[in-house]
Amino acid sequence: MDSLTRRQVLQGMVGATGAVFLSACGAGMSGSQATREPGANVSPTATTAGTGADVLRFAWWTDVGAMTPFQVSTTGPGGVVLLSMIYDTLTWKDQNSIIPWLASSWDAAANGSQYTFRLVEGATWHDGKPVTAEDVKFSFDYYAKHPYRWMPTDVVRSATVSTEQEVTIQLKRPYAAFLAEIAGTVPIIPRHIWEPIADPTKHTGPDRSIGSGPYKLTAHDEADGAYRLTANQEYWRGRPLVPEWRQLTVPAEARVEIVRRREADVSLSTDASVRSLLRDDTRLRVFETAPLSLVRLALNTKRPPLDEKDVRQAIAYALDRGRIAETITRGPAIIGSAGVIPPETPWHNPTVQKYDYNPERARELLGNRKISLDLIADTQVREPDLMQPMLETVGITLNVRRADAQTRTQILSTGEFQMALTSHIGVGGDPDYLRRWYTGEEANAFAQGSIFEDEEYTRLGEAQAATPDPVKRRAAVDRMQEILAAELPTIVLYHRRFYWVYDPSAFTPMETWGGLMNGIPFPNNKLTLIAS
């Protein structure tokens, strides 16, 4: 952002609404560079409805790149969630379901391969120009050339504009996950900004972060990893409740401390004991997400002895997964669902086969053989240290090879492994990932190493992806989970919640149906930040 733009934005905001976003907001963190501009040093006059804060500071742990769909960091979800406050998508999610967003309504073709979206009236870009069907068409055309790294749009064949507010998206094949995964995740970008840009990855123009969302980017300091977003008072869907949103980069070890010192208002802990550590704190609260994450073993079903189902099941019985989960999360255990999809999420099948801790049964399944297995795990993870003695008692020697996450991904992509331990999110949203993992369609870190072939599973995977009928889809996904649970190409050790520490006077956390977008455990759904 150059200073001219920033000044214009500031003056516009101050003049139009009298909202004050530069008032004192905590020791050492007050104000902004922009206050050097004239007209910005206004004393607080207005407060917001719903939340008492003039500025909300959200502590995350890395810089998340520039706020464009082409330059946002996809290492972790911190970037795309921030992006969702600046850009809008066609659909969105609330606590219970998929809801209309930029698209006020839509029709799906009977076979599920074509969607017609009607856009809301009055939506504008941050520079005042209207959001039109042309922008939607342009976005999908542009993503075909310059992929959005968070969500592939390959399934889109074409987009055609019928009226200024209506656009039809033709898919290459019927795709049931389209509304949730693509329409609800892929940001719509302004055609007038991006059309002339041939290489968006290296575009640095001051207009690059213009979206249609409730917040405008007004400053980004790359070295500090700090972002300042100011409320878009003209937002078509309602007035943003907090005049200013900041995202700060805070290393893991300072994340809770910084909220306690009132230098941030919302922060994340992955450790359940944060609740007991903050028990005496009358000001702060802890918000628990659904268990949207899992820690699992990927088994190479092509390598003896893991090609035997009995051996895979024996491993599941031999591990006291409840104790592993309790020790490592320091909270109540949520033992891994053998069907992969976590409990408390929309697509979970609670009836799949369970593998309660039973070393006797494990020894039986192994036929009292002694076997030796190699496990690849990240350098610092602790699960293998607990697994080793447990497996030892049933006659399995576990050789642990430690590597960093990048190295693990590399090894997994070559298939030269027996077992790998991995931990990730993205499993609470649309269940199409169950299919994609095992088709080799995805190239990301956690699909790597998913090696499993089963005719019925493949067929069901294709069927659930194609069917427009939600009942049939659920049946197929349920059955896929049963197959996973019986065959165990992956053993989920446990599911994890995330613990958001926040100041309730400044922020109201919100649980999103199946996680934000594609299963992200963040409490800052933009719905909670705008007046309804």
Partner 1 sequence: MIVRGELPRLTMRYLLLAVAVVLLNFFIPRLLPGNPLTGSAGDGLDVAAPLSAVAQEQLRAYYHLDEPMNGQLASYLSDLVHGDLGWSISRPAPVAALLVARLPWTLGLLLSALLISAVAGTALGVLAGWFPGRGRDRLLISVTAALSAIPEFLIAIGLLLAFAIGLEWFPLLGGRSVFPDFGSGVAGSARQILDIGWHLTLPATTLVLASAAGFLLIARDATAAVQSEPWLVVARAKGLPERQIALGHVLPNIALPLLTFFALRLGAVLGGALVVERVFGVPGLGLLAFEAIRARDYPVLQALFLLSSLGVLVVNFGTELVYLRLDRRRGPRLG
Partner 2 sequence: MLAPYDPRLPSGPPLAVPTAEHRLGTNDLGQDVLSHVIHGARGALIVAVVVALISTALSWMVGLAAGFLRPVEAPLMALCDLLLALPSIPLYLLIATLVGPSRRNLILMLALLSWPGFARVVRSIVIQARSAPHVEAARCLGATDARIVYHHLLPSTLNVLPTKLILTVRFAVFAEATLAFLGLAQSGTVSWGTMLSQAFSDPLLFSRPVWPWLVLPPCLAIMALILATTWLSSGLDSSQGVIG
Listed residue (215, 199, 102, 94) closest to 142, CA to CA: 199
Task: Based on the shown chain and the rule CB under 8 A, indicate whether residue 269 belongs to the binding site for partner 2.
Answer: yes
Dist CA 113 CA 73 (whole Å): 31
Is there binding between residue 273 and partner 1 (CB under 8 A)?
no
91 touches partner 1 by CB under 8 A: no
- Considering the rule CB under 8 A, would residue 361 count as an interface residue with partner 2? no
Residue from 263, 383, 478, 511 touching partner 1 (CB under 8 A): that is 263
Residues 6+ apart with CB under 8 A from 3: 37
How many Cβ atoms sit within 10 Å of the Cβ of residue 207? 16
Specify the stretch interacting with partner 1 by CB under 8 A; choose among 46-54, 223-231, 301-309, 459-467.
223-231
Would you count residue 423 as binding partner 1 (CB under 8 A)? Answer: yes
| Selected binder of partner 2 within 222, 224, 257, 307 (CB under 8 A) | 257
Residue 252 is a binding residue for partner 1 (CB under 8 A): yes
Among 445, 466, 475, 486, binds partner 1 (CB under 8 A): 445
Map tokens 């010192």 to a residue. 261
Residue 32 contacts which entry, partner 2, partner 1, none (Cβ below 5-8 A, type-dependent): partner 1
- 201 makes contact, choosing from partner 1, partner 2, none, with CB < 5 to 8 Å by partner type, with partner 1
Asked if residue 105 binds partner 1 (CB under 8 A), the reply is no
Contact assessment for residue 336 and residue 357, using Cβ atoms and an 8 Å cutoff: no
Q: Which amino acid does the sequence have at 179?
A: L
Stretch of 47-55, 350-358, 375-383, 420-428 contacting partner 2, by CB under 8 A: 375-383
3-state secondary structure of 56: strand
- Round to whole Å and give the CA distance between 449 and 53: 46
- Cβ 314 to partner 1, closest distance in Å? 26
Q: At what angle do helices 383-393 and 309-318 cross, to 10 degrees?
A: 110
Q: Which two tokens stand for residue 383?
A: 């699960």
| 217 vs 233: CA distance, rounded Å | 13
| Span from 95-103, 183-191, 255-263, 486-494 in contact with partner 2 (CB under 8 A) | 255-263
Write the single-letter amino acid at 148: Y
Tell me the DSSP string of 474-496.
HHHHHHHHHHHHHH-SEEEEEEE
**Interaction between residue 253 and partner 2 (CB under 8 A):** yes
Integer Cα distance of 462 and 400 in angstroms: 36
Q: Is 496 in the site for partner 1 (CB under 8 A)?
A: yes
- Positive/negative CA dihedral, 143, 145, 151, 155: positive
Which bin fits 311, alpha (ψ -120 to 50), beta or left (φ > 0)? alpha
Least distance to partner 2, CB of residue 378, Å = 9
Question: Residue 186: which of 156, 215, 160, 162 has the closest Cα?
Answer: 156
Q: Is 270 in the site for partner 2 (CB under 8 A)?
A: yes
250 contributes a contact to partner 1 by CB under 8 A: yes
From partner 1, partner 2, none, interface partner of 248 (C-beta below 5 to 8 A by class): partner 1
Q: Among residues 10, 13, 22, 188, which is the contact residue for partner 1, using CB under 8 A?
A: 22
Q: Which of 100, 130, 152, 343 binds partner 1 (CB under 8 A)?
A: 152
Binding status of residue 436 toward partner 1 by CB under 8 A? yes
Q: Applying CB under 8 A, which part among 71-79, 253-261, 282-290, 435-443 lies near partner 2?
A: 253-261
Return the SS3 of 293.
strand
Token couple for 489: 């190409």
- As a whole number of angstroms, the distance between CA 82 and CA 78 comes to 6
Query: Is residue 411 a contact residue for partner 1 (CB under 8 A)?
Result: yes
The listed partner (partner 1, partner 2, none) that binds 107, CB under 5 to 8 Å by sort, is: none
- Cβ proximity of 78 and 64 under 8 Å: yes
Give the nearest distance from C-beta 375 to partner 2 in angstroms. 10
Distance CA 342, CA 275 (A): 22
321 binds partner 1 (CB under 8 A): no
Nearer to partner 2, 120 or 403 (CB): 403
514 touches partner 1 by CB under 8 A: no
Residues making contact with partner 2 (CB under 8 A): 252-253, 255-257, 269-271, 273-274, 277, 327-328, 330, 379-382, 384-386, 388-389, 400-404, 406-407
